[in-house]
Amino acid sequence: MKSKFCTLAASALLLVGVVSCDYLDVAPPETVDRDDILKTQVDALEYLYSCYGPIQNATLIQNFRPYNLRQGSDEWVALAPQNCDAQRYQWNQPTGMNTYYGAFQEYYNSIGYCNMFIRDINEKVVPGLSDELKAQYIAEAQFLKAYLHCEAMIYYGPIPITDEVIPTNVATDAMPGRSHFDYCADYVANLCDIAYENLPSVYSVQQYYGRATKAAAKFLKARVRWLAASPLFNGEFPNKSWANENYETPGYGTELISHTYDASKWEMARQACLEAIQEAEAAGHVLFDVDGSEARRLANDIPLPQIPGVDTSTPEGEEFAKRVMLMRYVVTTGPDQGNNEAIWGMLYIAPDVDNSCVPHYVITDQNSVLRGAWGWISPSLHAVESFYTADGRQPAEDPDFTPESRWFESSGIRLRDDDGRDTPEVINLCVGREPRFYAWIGFDGGEYSPVIKNGSNLILRMRDSNENGYNPNFGANNQSQTGFYNIKMVHPNLRYTGIDANSNMSEGYNHTWALFRLADLYLMLAECDARLNQHLDEGVSYLNLVRERAGVPAVNLEDVSGNGQLLEVVLDEISNEFYFEVRRQLEIRRNVIGPETMSKSHYRGLNALVSNPSFEEFNTPMVIEQPFEWDDRMYLYPIHNEEIYSDPQLIQAPGY
């Protein structure tokens, strides 16, 4: 572990917000004399930017790609031969020998880089660097250090705290072990408070989007307080005997996680959320809205989407379709395109997400070659069924929705294909749903995109093996396992030209990935109120801001005032709003609901792995045949055994 704590992140690449700056590359300070790299204010800025760099390096960015461990949940599946990291989590395969991509090491490499920057900038007088800018640069590094500690906590639970540069010759018995989770949360929250004092509220220069701000610091403080209040770390951790063997946390001894519920943690989280909301709104952060989305849609020359059962020639239908487009643009536009919902983000540079989602057939090119992407991200029936109806209720709980016994029967509705061909009938389950469902879920007979076929629409034909249906000739793994495709994160203006494999896919992934967005703050506050069973009017108000933006009817306070009712609605809203944003697994783990959400019987799809099936054959729900398994050890990730062996203070997560 010593080598990992003390090794610097080798990458100095920074891609901040929406701008990439080649001049930001700097050599790691351990290999270059500080007098050489801190000669001017520009040098200091480059050094600071290299602290941001590890968040984007080739290893950590895997955390945001669809096949990383942390995407493993009940939201989607892939064919078993894909053998991706998300599946390894679904199959209960991570161990201390194969933790995949080494995120733990990268977090601490990055923390060490921040500590080194703070030390060097404090010890060196940099010509041209004002005291004000120096304080701001240090605050940015402190924020990044807090963020990296918090991210490690999300996946590893109680973690070592590294607040200063650890000498390379440190004795192994002086290395830090895991600190109590609440102690870690206090550390991150306090570091956010310290950084806040010298961070700017906003940046006037667009290329600085993505650098730390006061609002980002307040958000991070709210996040860590919310995390510490969550059931997994607030009385419900399954393994009551797990504790340090030797290393002690001041005030906690060898205990690592509190085993008694403490309601005051939710009150602390609530206050932190209120402060963060006030700061974010004062800085100009607002939920992205229809006006902003329509400006993008019209600029991209995209017609409104077709939606089964919705007449877009009526004012109500037109508004519904605009909400569908809004929810597609929410996650594919950044501040430079009028979307100020993101409080802090990284440049989304991985085309793998788009390729993994877009169907294996989109268009036939000029040489009669069938062109498309990979199309192996397959939303589960759980995800499909979890989105609300148009009336804002769960399908099984809506008396006005089609009875469950008829969900997989034909609705008799067919959409219009721009090429004039007949289209498949849509099943009842896919009619009468909320805008986010149509924005993010592709289904047989549904419109995947209005323009993806060189300006024409793509109607999914999931039962046709020559198009979007099962056909190994497109690639053994490039199939939908469940009969559904994912649309979220695919840019609305993605177009295949029909000339070889050309497309404008770069437009789709050259945008900000919102690590912190305002909708998250609103829902965290609503959850705090629901957990406390206090301030319910406040909680409902913030919940409704997110629902109504998505085109979902507001919740009435009197309908959710019963014991636990508001909490259930808020948790459902979190799952729907943050579908496919690397969030669902965290929700499963922090709410301690692994057995009921990730057991084998929970993973269902349609009978999609059949060539040219009939309507009835295809639309038969079935349990997916893969080795899905839940074990309570999966509530925490394992640390690689190399780290455990090299640090006698550091213990492994239970069960590994």
What 3-state DSSP class applies to 243?
A: strand
Q: Pick the last residue of a domain from 509, 527, 548.
A: 509
CB 176 within 8 Å of CB 651: no
- What's the confidence (pLDDT) of residue 27? 33
Same domain, 203 and 308: no
Same domain, 295 and 237: no
For the chain, residues with pLDDT lower than 50 are 1-29, 31, 58-59
CB 374 within 8 Å of CB 358: yes
- What's the confidence (pLDDT) of residue 61? 55
Same domain, 169 and 304: no
Domain membership flag for residue 86: yes
Domain membership flag for residue 612: no
* CATH number of the domain within which 181 lies: 1.25.40.390
Same domain, 250 and 294: no
Half-sphere exposure of 360 (CA within 13 A, CB side): 26
Same domain, 12 and 124: yes
Phi, psi of 421 (to 5 degrees): -80, 160
- What's the confidence (pLDDT) of residue 247? 96
Same domain, 191 and 242: yes
Q: Pick the last residue of a domain from 509, 533, 565.
A: 509
> Structural domain of residue 214, as residue ranges?
2-282+636-646
Domain membership flag for residue 574: no
CB 504 within 8 Å of CB 494: yes
Domain membership flag for residue 250: yes
Based on the structure, what is the number of domains in the chain? 2
Cα 569 to chain centroid distance, Å, stands at: 20
Residue type, 107: Y
Same domain, 216 and 266: yes
- What's the confidence (pLDDT) of residue 497? 92
Same domain, 8 and 147: yes
Same domain, 61 and 186: yes
- What's the confidence (pLDDT) of residue 98? 80
- What's the confidence (pLDDT) of residue 608? 98
- What's the confidence (pLDDT) of residue 391? 98
Q: How far apart are CA 208 and CA 548, in angstroms?
A: 31
Q: What angle do CA 185, 191, 178 make, to 5 degrees?
A: 40
Q: Pick the last residue of a domain from 509, 529, 564.
A: 509
Same domain, 28 and 124: yes
Count of Cβ atoms closer than 10 Å to residue 192 Cβ: 29
Domain membership flag for residue 587: no
Domain membership flag for residue 476: yes
- What's the confidence (pLDDT) of residue 6? 33
- What's the confidence (pLDDT) of residue 8? 29
Count of Cβ atoms closer than 10 Å to residue 505 Cβ: 19
Helix, strand, coil percent content, the chain, rounded in steps of 5: 45, 10, 45
β-pair type (511-517, 342-348): antiparallel
String of DSSP letters for 323-349? HHHHHHHTTT--GGGT---EEEEEEE-
Closest CA to 283 of 342, 197, 224: 342
* Diameter over CA atoms, the chain: 75
Q: What's the pTM?
A: 0.93
DSSP character for 56? G
Same domain, 452 and 312: yes
Domain membership flag for residue 420: yes
Same domain, 55 and 147: yes
Domain membership flag for residue 341: no
